[in-house]
């Protein structure tokens, strides 16, 4: 059984209401409930956390190391493009992670086309709305199975 942490950055608490053309109508709570069920059915434990504050996300990454979390799925939102602190935390803990985005950040405004985390990530899933999380979890489960033998 793997311990999985799903981290969500700023403004993702507004999913379902915020710019539905980019982000869809599904709420973060709906996504979290579905991820938890899928992870449990696959024999894994999943927790989730959302914050609008950079330092709280950094604290969660550090806490994940102390709690021996095996894998992180992270949607850093705007911190994707700005947070060296979040990058440093992910690098320092060496916890493998998948970067997730609801929209295709590479097809958006120029300032959104660069990720400070991408080169550290096991992979990136972007552009599929709420399904991006499901695809990331599916990839994570397959990755864990391949590592197990």
Q: Which residues participate in catalysis according to the annotation? A: 23, 101
Which residues lie below 8 Å from residue 122, measured CB to CB, with a gap of 6+?
Answer: 96, 97, 98, 143
- CA atoms lying within 13 Å on the CB side of residue 137: 29
Rg of the chain taking only CA atoms, in angstroms: 14
Which residues lie below 8 Å from residue 63, measured CB to CB, with a gap of 6+?
Answer: none
Q: In this structure, are residues 148 and 121 in contact, taking their beta carbons and an 8 Å threshold? A: no
CA distance from start to end of the chain = 14
SS3 at position 124:
strand
């Amino acid at each position: 059984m793997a311990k999985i942490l799903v981290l969500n950055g700023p403004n993702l608490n507004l999913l379902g209401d915020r710019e539905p053309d980019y982000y869809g109508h599904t709420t973060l709570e709906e996504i979290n409930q579905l991820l938890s069920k899928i992870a449990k059915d696959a024999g894994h434990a999943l927790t989730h956390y959302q914050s609008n504050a950079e330092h709280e996300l950094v604290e969660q990454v550090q806490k994940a190391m102390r709690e021996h979390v095996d894998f992180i799925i992270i949607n850093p939102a705007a911190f994707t493009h700005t947070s060296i602190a979040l990058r440093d935390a992910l690098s320092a803990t060496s916890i493998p992670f998948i970067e997730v985005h609801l929209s295709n950040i590479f097809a958006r405004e120029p300032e959104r086309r660069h990720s400070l985390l991408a080169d550290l990530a096991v992979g990136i899933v972007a552009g599929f709305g709420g399904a991006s999380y499901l695809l990331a979890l599916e990839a994570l489960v397959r990755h864990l199975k391949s590592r197990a033998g």
